[in-house]
């Protein structure tokens, strides 16, 4: 298959008893990496059934009861409705119509839209934010699309007293249409903080994109963009404090729920391959994720009776919103999928957004996953993924050799590093890494952590 080195190395060395997964020339069978290089035992399906499944048996039995599940859902819905009703009932801002264009907010505090350090934003309740935007003469009478990014947690946005959109939780970007742009836009945000610190997400820009009224904003070229950050003065005031919102039951986290409810009913269907994009919810505890991912791929292949179906895992993108979660470690755990045959790892740590859990660039992720699918399922002849390393050695003359798959045409690197002693090699080991290594096809190398082993040491 394919390999490359950061140093010229004519012959890769492997631990005793491990076969070399690379060869010169092409093959329809993709390489696999010896598990010895990961220093972890494989987690077989039988281990999952015999050790993990019994611990979950009680929860699984309860979730099989449709009445039990429906009772929980109805209780969640009642709690949500009661919370929303009470917060509307006691909100002074609603009672006094703080969203009205003529409302006098002269005594409110001033802020920038991305200033989340305000003490008023640090407890659950409702904060109102108001600002005035002047529309250039050539855009008056046109339509617009307001894009204010993501917020914590829920919002209602009014323009000149009219509600133009609302979102009930933090992750979707706030993209709302304005039917007609007047010469002055009085914008009011009613921000509901459900859990902790609220506000508009730092680092986002806040704009109104202008279109002809008769044009579809999704397919038409914009006439221009109005900046809502720099020229505008924004004022804010808290209208109420309130209790923290209770978390709904997230059935996707329950044992066997996705498998039994979503996957198993399709067991008789024909599939060509699988794409797995998940991991954000496991960054608080990444240990053993790689073992479970390997077992999941084996289980799916068994369910659909496709023992060699291509399986593609999308590695986590970059994110800097969760300082107490270990995204770098989880990415390294995801590399374990490469211990199975006919697999690929789609690297995305260069196309995410540091301040958004759900980045807007879906196209690059789809293109890279499609590249992997075309290479492994349809034998396109292209590399299915970026450079992947599993092994590094230190020669007797202190030269480090790093062994790569999927770098037959060579590697490109934009920077270098020197150190007196190196016991471990890490690449792109942070929440939001700068990916500087790629193959000639332009696919980035997967972030990794591997031990540095002397040539005469045995990893087996």
Residue 208 predicted with pLDDT over 60: yes
Residue 18 CA to residue 15 CA, distance in Å, equals 6
Residue 128 CA to residue 130 CA, distance in Å, equals 7
Query: In 10 A of CB 16, how many CB atoms?
Result: 8
Indicate the class that CATH gives domain 89-241. mainly beta
Residue 377 predicted with pLDDT over 90: yes
- What would the pLDDT profile of 300-337 be if each residue is shown by its tens digit? 999 999 999 999 999 999 988 777 789 999 999 999 99
* Range with lowest mean pLDDT among 33-37, 86-90, 133-137, 271-275: 33-37
Residue ranges of domains in the chain: 45-64+267-378, 89-241
Rounded to 10°, the helix 66-89/53-63 angle is 70
Give the pLDDT score at 234. Answer: 94
What confidence tier does 29 reach under pLDDT thresholds 50, 70, 90?
Answer: very low
Proportion of the chain in helix, strand, coil states, percent, rounded to 5: 25, 25, 50
| CA–CA–CA angle 67, 69, 75 (5° rounding) | 100
The most distant pair of C-alpha atoms in the chain lies apart, rounded to whole Å, by 80
Residue 390 CA to residue 35 CA, distance in Å, equals 9
Give the pLDDT score at 33. Answer: 61
Q: Give the sign of the dihedral formed by CA 377, CA 23, CA 438, CA 432.
A: positive
**Long-range CB contacts for residues 22-25, cutoff 8 Å, separation at least 24:** 22/403, 22/405
- Cβ neighbourhood burial of 359 (10 Å; 0-12, 13-18, 19+): middle
Residue 34 predicted with pLDDT over 60: no
Give the pLDDT score at 5. Answer: 32
Looking at residues 273-300, what average pLDDT do you find? Answer: 91
Q: Give kind and range of the element (H or E) at residue 227.
A: strand 224-227
Name the more confident of 82 and 5. 82
Residue 334 CA to residue 428 CA, distance in Å, equals 14
Among 174, 166, 215, CA closest to 192 = 166
Tell me the residue ranges of DSSP E strands in 1-96: 3-5
- Angstrom CA distances, 265 to 255, 269, 275, stand at 17, 9, 18
- What would the pLDDT profile of 152-190 be if each residue is shown by its tens digit? 999 999 999 999 999 999 989 999 999 999 999 999 999
Q: Are 374 and 388 in contact (CB under 8 A)?
A: no
Give the pLDDT score at 408. Answer: 79
Among 432, 439, 352, 430, CA closest to 388 = 439
What token pair was written down for 275? 């794409």
Beta-bridge mates of residue 187: 131, 159
Q: Are 151 and 199 in contact (CB under 8 A)?
A: yes
What confidence tier does 56 reach under pLDDT thresholds 50, 70, 90?
Answer: confident
What token pair was written down for 351? 């196309």
For the chain, what is the mean pLDDT?
A: 84
Name the more confident of 207 and 414. 207
Q: What ranges in 161-244 are assigned the alpha helix state H?
A: none
Indicate the class that CATH gives domain 45-64+267-378. alpha beta
Residue 366 CA to residue 257 CA, distance in Å, equals 26
What whole-number percentage of the chain has pLDDT above 90?
53
Residue 196 CA to residue 21 CA, distance in Å, equals 50
């Amino acid at each position: 298959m394919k390999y490359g080195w950061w140093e010229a190395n004519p012959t890769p060395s492997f631990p005793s008893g491990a076969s070399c997964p690379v060869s010169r020339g092409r093959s329809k069978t993709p390489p696999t990496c010896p598990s010895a290089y990961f220093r972890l035992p494989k987690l077989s399906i039988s281990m999952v059934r015999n050790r993990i499944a019994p611990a979950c048996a009680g929860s699984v039995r309860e979730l099989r009861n449709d009445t039990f599940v429906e009772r929980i859902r109805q209780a969640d819905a009642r709690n949500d409705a009661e919370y929303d009703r009470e917060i509307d009932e006691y909100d002074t801002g609603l009672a006094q119509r703080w969203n009205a264009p003529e409302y006098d907010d002269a005594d409110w505090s001033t802020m920038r839209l991305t200033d989340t350090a305000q003490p008023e934003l640090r407890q659950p309740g409702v904060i109102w934010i108001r600002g005035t935007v002047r529309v250039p003469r050539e855009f008056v009478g046109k339509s617009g699309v307001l894009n204010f990014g993501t917020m914590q947690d829920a919002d209602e946005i009014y323009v000149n007293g009219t509600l133009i959109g609302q979102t009930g939780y933090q992750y979707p970007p706030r993209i709302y249409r304005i039917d007609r742009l007047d010469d002055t836009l009085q914008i009011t945000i009613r921000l509901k903080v459900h859990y902790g610190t609220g506000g508009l997400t730092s680092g986002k820009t806040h704009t109104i994109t202008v279109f002809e009224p008769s044009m579809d904003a999704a397919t038409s070229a914009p006439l221009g963009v109005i900046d809502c950050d720099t020229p505008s003065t924004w004022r804010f005031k808290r209208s109420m404090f309130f209790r923290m919102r209770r978390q709904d039951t997230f059935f996707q986290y329950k044992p066997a729920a996705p498998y039994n409810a979503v996957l198993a009913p399709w067991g008789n269907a024909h599939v060509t391959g699988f794409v797995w994009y998940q991991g954000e919810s496991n960054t608080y505890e990444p240990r053993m994720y790689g073992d479970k991912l390997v077992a999941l791929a084996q289980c799916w292949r068994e369910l659909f009776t496709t023992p060699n179906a291509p399986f593609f895992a999308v590695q986590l993108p970059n994110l800097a919103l969760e300082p107490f979660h270990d995204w770098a470690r989880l990415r390294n755990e995801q590399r374990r999928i490469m211990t199975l045959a006919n697999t690929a790892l789609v690297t995305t740590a260069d196309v995410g957004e540091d301040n958004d859990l759900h980045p807007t660039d879906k196209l690059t992720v789809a293109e890279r996953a499609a590249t992997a699918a075309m290479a492994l399922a349809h034998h396109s002849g292209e590399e299915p993924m970026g450079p992947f390393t599993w092994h590094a050695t230190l020669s007797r003359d202190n030269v480090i050799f790093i062994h790569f798959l999927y770098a037959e045409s060579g590697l490109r690197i934009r920077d270098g590093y020197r150190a007196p002693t190196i016991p471990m090699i890490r690449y792109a080991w942070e929440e939001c890494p700068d990916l500087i290594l790629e193959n000639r096809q332009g696919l980035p190398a997967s972030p990794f952590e591997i031990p540095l082993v002397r040539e005469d040491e045995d990893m087996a």
